[in-house]
Structure 1
């Protein structure tokens, strides 16, 4: 035991005498060594929350096809903006909450999915398929509620377009939010979420509403945190997207925190809303949460962190339409 305490003190002294950047890289290197098994079986066990989330993921996989699409939803491929190049013939819908990159690799090996398509049948001229997800991944969910957001005790969290419910379950498991609401217009996903909430006894804090967000003005006004993950672009035509965004910014109260994937700037750029973001919202700095999230959630320092960096936080300043 004396040796262990001495090593602890030496290790803490090393961390204390290096820069924040070096400390971060060192901790990520240690985590990478642990996860790789190079130092033996010293990985930590999953928390009860992680185990429950994994169980929910397994349940949902058994209820949905690999592309996690429902027969009752309609998809509108964007004609403008950064995703306007998505070709319906070469775009694959995949739910990031249900299938991470490793799971997709497994599906490809099993022949249930492909990452590329042939540009000329019978040849070796192949191009990568475009993968689109309409849900937050498990890593994103954990990052949002464990690191990015402040303490949510007594707060109301709203997920607009809650789909499979990933954000709802994450808010329940990883935060102390008082009330968690998902508004979903698709009946299939509403039923799925309701079934999961009932099975895992989450109805004390989670509510699933089958409705159009345009009809939920009072809920929008009362929410402290609103999640907007790839929310409108692939589901409604451009004119309705504009109407929805204008309605949101006319309804949200001051100090509401918006969590968006992608950024508001990217979402609104191809639309004609008249919304002046500089007057409507202020961006919340995520430098410290991002550094901590990288250390805790990603395997190695050189692991792709785009899942985390695509998450943006804003504080609403002026809920006026069109915020001019």
Structure 2
């Protein structure tokens, strides 16, 4: 699989998640903003799960599953690209451990989202809340470990600013999501339902931006592939398109010439050095020759023009 195709994974995952959220909000608004049975008294803004537990439950399950499964692939691809040196490779075993922990936590978080969509808040409220916590905590822990890995990579590869950018983006996600989750828990505990619902929607959309941030992580793999392709094209143009005698790579001028092409060093060193050192001084001093032509032979001196005073 070409390195240039890995960036599709986070973009596809985030696009599916946004489409899911927007569709649910649009459906709720288009159906007259109904008050679902799972909503509390005085609550006018539904939770995501309130809409997902009703008619749109099959879509909610399907699109949530696609989102987290493809996002988990981003963690696996990131590990593979570092192992294959298409991204900056890990410099210690601990960095690999952080990456593995991030992947494992992401898989746990993905399982939490899939299960909370199956066990809806209408029929399995307690299980639904447990899996919601698993989903949120799983991805926050995953982000912590991926940040830890990127922080260590940034120390060893200070010339790669993209590592610092990715680190700060993911760190901002951790801080913001933790603050929003705490506020969500407090508002839910104090029965401030509409604010809590608004915070839940905010958490969901910010999660989408976190998924999209992995596109930046795959950019070096795209550039590496592009650079290799351009280098290969240039080498083919020079060696295959022009020919052996014109523009080979330097190895052919050091005695490593293919059979049938043994004139590079022979004429270059034999005639050029022989004629330039043997004939130039002789003819220049005694027979009126000075300099050399393009083949290394001395050029005749043009006689001076006759003086007009005689």
Q: Same fold (TM over 0.5)?
A: no
Query: Which structure: greater helix fraction?
Result: 2
With the shorter chain as reference, the TM-score category is: under 0.3
TM-score with structure 2 length normalisation?
0.21
TM-score with structure 1 length normalisation?
0.20
Query: Which structure: greater strand fraction?
Result: 1
